[in-house]
Structure 1
Amino acid sequence: MVNLLFHEHAMSVLRNVVIAYFSKYEVDLVRQRKARRLQRQQFWAAGVNDLFAVDQHDKWLRFGLASHTGIEPFTGRIMWMRVWHSNQNPQLILTYYLETIQELGHRFFFMSFYHNAIDVVITDMPMVTQSDPGSENFGIANAHTMLRQWHNLTLQGTLKHRWMCMKKNVMPEITWSQLRHRFTPGYENYLDSGVDAGWYDCGNALQRLIFRWIFIPWLQRELDGYKDRINNTAKRHDQNKVLPRGVPNLIYDSPGDFGVLDFRIILEPGAIGRARNLNLNLNHAVFELVPRDFGDFIHQCYNELGHPVVDRRSAWNVYLDLHQIISRLYKQLPPVVLPDDNLNDDFLPLLENHEDLAFRDGNDGAYYMGGVGGGLGLGVFSPCMQH
């Protein structure tokens, strides 16, 4: 609790103050905790690729930064973790999903009957996607449902996406909490240092564009490194979870070696491209880091600086140097440099005449949100995850 107050609310509270508070105002919770009788909610997953859970993160919006992640709950594998200047546009969020399942493809080479070398990429996807309610997730819900229905006509009329209305979107929330504890504090302090020094004002359009151009690619590299560390590190044993023990990447890539089921759906060649063509306008401005003309201009200024490396030691220095050059050449700026404030006003309607997946909620508080058995799960849930 002390760490949570510090990192989430910037409050430095002594441990004995927290203990005194709970002893006075939360007597029953303290008694339950001491008796180890806290009620745990149980979240069940039938196996690998039962579902992907996605969620956005808005803690850095004061810097003009928006984050998004996708999790494979059974293995705990982070499928993507992205930072951009928006996380509310349904087309943008959909690209994260489509790019991920495209990258999961496996390349095979074999010889045909006529001794010609054939190169085939096999791609796959989970049974179900899951998110909080919100129109920014309509793109994933639509495209994933279309992909499932193209490969199984019996699924017509059923949305293959879960909306977490009554139940919390558990796994992404845990991932964000861990990120806030393990990754965020140092980087957030570094970003705050530039704001506190008066170098960056998110409300200033020119400063915001320069900040985006420098900081988003650097922070994305740092997040990629964090994701790889998490996915290649075995998680600590938890007596409250019945899961295979091992490295998330290894469990995901070779579930049979860990004695667990794999529910991945193999896609036909070209299916992802077809979904992309039907649901995306890749010329949309939301996909641009900064407006194109301004991007060309700032790149020229960056080259004038000698193409300096951007990292934690240099990011603010590069920002200040670029800001100085661009301010001096202000009259040479492209005529359109302001970002479109309506990038998120791109409403995408949800598929019509589709019913939600069936839902199974056990009498013991356990609930299943995957896609096995039409959403009702296996006859006997095994293995499970408990939170």
Structure 2
Amino acid sequence: MFCPFCGVQLGDAPKFCPSCGQNVGFLTERQPTDEPSEDDLIRAYFRKDHSNEVFRDFLETKHGIVMSLKTLKRRLKRLNLSRRANYTPLETVNAAITTELNGSGQLLGYRAMWQTLRQKHSLTVRRDNVMQALRLLNPTGVSLRHRRRFVRRSYCAAGPNQVWHVDGYDKLKPFGIAISGCIDGYSRRIMWLSSGSTNNDPAVIAHHYLQCVSSCGLPARLRTDCGTENGDMAAIHCSLREDHTNEFAGSLSHMYGTSTANQRIESWWSFFRKQRTQFWMDLFSDLRERHYFNGTHEPKCLVRYVFLGIFQKELDEHRELWNNHTIRPVRQSLCPSGKPETMYHLPHRFGGRDCGFPVDPQVLQEFKDLLPPTNSLCGDANLQAYFTNLERQSQLVPPINWPAAVDNYIRLKEMAGL
């Protein structure tokens, strides 16, 4: 806290300035139970930069104090309150600005900073002086505000297997196909991309996780949203990390959060839709418009029975293509650029390190044995047996592409009377 009259730094709640002797007791807040005096009210409204006419109106309306304009000016002069005289020394102004720049004040422009100095620090200062001071003390912030550029936080990771981001994709769920995916935060390598009858079953997600860990190792941290489908996977991950001694061992190795904040996998889903799923959404929508699909349980099971094989094959192909494509450098990104497969397996070439941990295969097998068996391909064992029997009777050949799958779907649907 600084003296607004001479600029000397004050101690804890002083009543008078030790340098100039002026009364500075108004700088400290009164207790809520104390009744403010007229001088305190005038000082408070002056610090809020109200005009003299507004002063008088506030005093009369809120506090019942009737005062002429001439009397108010005389009181302001007696209290040494002036907007164009007794300017605070620039050294004091710079010190107060530096204090503000250490926190959220670094986002303020010179007008907002000028208001903060007047109202919060009770300093009398010219606005132009504040503008010049900010150019010297915070040139980067001034440049960014001048360009009107929004500064985003940058994703940062020390290397592969530091954070895995897991999420489900529901855009094809109206047609019976659910997708689960996981991406490594550092390399952007897709760890798994699996389709099935559900991505809400905790056992299904845990099976995907254990299968990936058995081939890639144990990540340091796991990031998911708050869905119940992630419960088994989170518990297994925390158990596997329980005996480690680093700062994110045990329960700290898993992070719950909102889907919108799970940026790595959420942003990747947009690429996935543009390059793959939009075709399938249009294909199934066309079947629905032709009255071959009504969204009930049986047609969804039939879609999975017919299409899931070639759809999963396409997911595997897309995962392979993505992991070996080149990510271009981005100026504001703190993660490296290159091929995800290379960044994941050769992090030393990009200034990173493998942050994962080895895991005993026997321990993983014990967790797998504890999980219940996953659902059938179709999602309904009875319907799957029924569709298999129809397929044998009609001697249909398993489809190898989407046109053949559409033909098989229509024929099986007509035979089943769905």
TM-score with structure 2 length normalisation?
0.60
Counterpart in the other structure of 1:300: 389
Counterpart in the other structure of 1:25: none
In the aligned structure 1, how far is the partner of 2:303 from the partner of 2:146? 49
Say which SS state the counterpart of residue 358 (structure 2) adopts.
strand
Higher strand share: 1
Counterpart in the other structure of 1:319: 409
Describe how 1:109-124 pairs up with structure 2 within 5 A.
124=217
Counterpart in the other structure of 2:351: 259
Counterpart in the other structure of 1:158: 251
Change in CA separation of 1:41 and 1:292 when aligned onto 2, cut-off 3 Å: same
Stretches of structure 2 that go unaligned for 5 or more consecutive residues are 1-143
Counterpart in the other structure of 2:192: 80
Describe how 1:235-384 pairs up with structure 2 within 5 A.
235-278=327-370, 280-282=371-373, 286-303=375-392, 304-327=394-417
Say which SS state the counterpart of residue 402 (structure 2) adopts.
coil
Cα displacement string for residues 289-342 of structure 1 (whole angstroms, at most 9, x for unaligned residues): 333343233223223334142422222111011122333xx9xxxxxxxxxxxx
Is the CA contact 2:187–2:344 (under 8 Å) kept in the aligned structure 1? Answer: yes
Change in CA separation of 1:176 and 1:33 when aligned onto 2, cut-off 3 Å: farther
* Cα drift, residue 172 of structure 1: 0.7
* Cα drift, residue 155 of structure 1: 7.5
Q: What is the percent sequence identity of the aligned residues?
A: 25
Among candidates 283, 301, 304, match of residue 212 of structure 1 = 304
Counterpart in the other structure of 2:122: none
Which of the pair has more CA radius of gyration? 2
For 2:335, the aligned partner's letter is: L
TM-score with structure 1 length normalisation?
0.65
Higher helix share: 2
Change in CA separation of 1:131 and 1:157 when aligned onto 2, cut-off 3 Å: closer
For 2:239, the aligned partner's letter is: M
* Cα drift, residue 151 of structure 1: 5.5
Is the CA contact 2:168–2:181 (under 8 Å) kept in the aligned structure 1? Answer: yes
Change in CA separation of 1:253 and 1:72 when aligned onto 2, cut-off 3 Å: same
Cα displacement string for residues 190-239 of structure 1 (whole angstroms, at most 9, x for unaligned residues): 11110110001112x33222111012222111111111110011112211
Q: CA RMSD in A?
A: 2.6
Counterpart in the other structure of 1:26: none
Describe how 1:53-132 pairs up with structure 2 within 5 A.
53-104=165-216, 124-132=217-225
Say which SS state the counterpart of residue 270 (structure 1) adopts.
helix
Cα displacement string for residues 1-40 of structure 1 (whole angstroms, at most 9, x for unaligned residues): xxxxxxxxxxxxxxxxxxxxxxxxxxxxxxx999350221
* Cα drift, residue 288 of structure 1: 4.6
Describe how 1:177-188 pairs up with structure 2 within 5 A.
177-188=270-281
* Cα drift, residue 165 of structure 1: 4.3
For 1:67, the aligned partner's letter is: I
Among candidates 309, 323, 326, match of residue 234 of structure 1 = 326
Counterpart in the other structure of 1:134: 227
Is the CA contact 1:92–1:287 (under 8 Å) kept in the aligned structure 2? Answer: no
Stretches of structure 1 that go unaligned for 5 or more consecutive residues are 1-31, 105-123, 331-387
Is the CA contact 2:165–2:223 (under 8 Å) kept in the aligned structure 1? Answer: yes
In the aligned structure 1, how far is the partner of 2:215 from the partner of 2:230? 21
